[in-house]
A and B are shown apart, each in its own frame.
Chain A
């Protein structure tokens, strides 16, 4: 059965601090990995995704994530956060099936203090 775990539920950082949010998954077969973000009052949107090739992927607004297959991890990073990064972040692994369900981690609320 597929599952996903995000280790940090609530993170508070000052502007310019570095960010790393953990995501571990359990999935049988080929996996595709996504991070979504929900800014306050807005709908969820894609931040970045990985499905093959270079395990270090870059997304919008300076975010990146590294796929480490041996650790079943897909951690999200940003070298220097801004106040505007305050949001909730969700990790989502999916399989290659056309009819597969889409599940999300518990989410991490990031609060960036100006």
Chain B
């Protein structure tokens, strides 16, 4: 069974803290993605990676960075958390190619206070 695992289901952090969200996939997928999900706004792409050490900005990269040192792991970093980054964060992975299905983690509900 395919699996995308996000390290935390719920996180509460203080404004200004550096926050790491981890995602691991066990399917040897080339592509990995980070989204935030907010009511009425759907899924917005923050960053994606198509290979180890490769990254591309999505539609809302400001305030975020990413790291992909190993193929199976894709980390999202909030350099200095702010209250407007309170959201649900979803990680996804997929094989290369446009006709392949994406697999999602359960999500991390981040609250910044």
Binding site for B on A (CB under 8 A): 6, 9, 30-32, 34, 36, 43-46, 49, 51, 90, 92, 94-107
Contact = CB atoms under 8 A, between A and B. Distances in A.
Interface of B: 4, 30-31, 33, 35, 40-43, 45, 48, 50-51, 56, 58-59, 90, 92, 94, 96-99, 101-102, 104-107
A106 B37 CA distance: 10
A95 B98 contact: yes
29 contacts: A30-B98, A32-B99, A36-B102, A43-B90, A43-B104, A43-B107, A44-B92, A44-B102, A49-B101, A51-B98, A90-B43, A92-B102, A94-B98, A94-B99, A95-B98, A96-B98, A96-B99, A98-B30, A98-B97, A99-B50, A100-B98, A101-B58, A102-B31, A102-B33, A102-B48, A102-B94, A102-B102, A104-B43, A107-B42
Do most interface residues of chain B lie in helix, strand or loop, or is the interface mixed? strand
A103 B33 CA distance: 10
Contacts of B4: 43
